[in-house]
Amino acid sequence: MRKLRTSELKRLTIEEFKSSSKMPITVVMDNIRSLNNVGSVFRTSDALKIEKIVLCGITATPPNKEIHKTALGAEDAVDWQYFEETEEAIRQLKEEGYVICSLEQVENSTSLLDFEPSKDSKYAIVLGNEVKGVQQKVVNMSDVCIEIPQFGTKHSFNVSVSAGIVLWELFRKLNA
């Protein structure tokens, strides 16, 4: 086996990416404090052709050299918006017909393994703060709360790892 050269990977240009069809998924970042997590979510969103990212509250926005360190230019390809209040973003996404899915451990959560997205729906995946999670008022506005099954001693994954797991699983299920 031989590693492929970058030129052999047939990646889209930023212009091609922007004009291509996207997954019917928007990522909402609810007060994410780590710029590395923000950049990583941009990079994952680029890889899976996510529609856009909504940055809320204390979440930093591009252009930012710390975001760029992990995004590696994906912040230039993936569309994004900023809202001071996450609730305002959720209200707008609901008006646009999105199913609001908070990634959080709550009573009666839906396991990611059991969540079956409809190909006829658009989804907003809400990622919460690294310490406090998704705000309760945002959980209250959600249509569903998805939980990633975990089996060790810790009760959560890193935000960017959670994003990768959930976005990949939705991508896989929507393209099955």
pLDDT in tens, 41-60: 999 999 999 999 999 999 99
In a domain, 122, yes or no: yes
pLDDT 10s digit of each residue in the chain, 176 long? 999 998 999 999 999 999 999 999 999 999 999 999 999 999 999 999 999 999 999 999 999 999 999 999 999 999 999 999 999 999 999 999 999 999 999 999 999 999 999 999 999 999 999 999 999 999 999 999 999 999 999 989 999 999 999 999 999 999 98
d(C-alpha 46, C-alpha 52), whole Å: 9
Asked whether residue 163 is domain-assigned, the answer is yes
Residue 77 is part of a domain; what is its CATH number? 3.40.1280.10
Q: Is residue 1 part of a domain?
A: no
Residue ranges making up the domain that contains 111: 20-174
76 found inside a domain: yes
What's the structural domain count of the chain? 1
127-154 residue pLDDT tens: 999 999 999 999 999 999 999 999 999 9
Look at residue 11 and tell me if it is in a domain.
no
Rg of the chain over Cα atoms, rounded to whole angstroms, equals 16
Q: Is residue 47 domain-resident?
A: yes
Whether 5 maps to a domain, the answer reads no
Is residue 64 situated within a structural domain?
yes
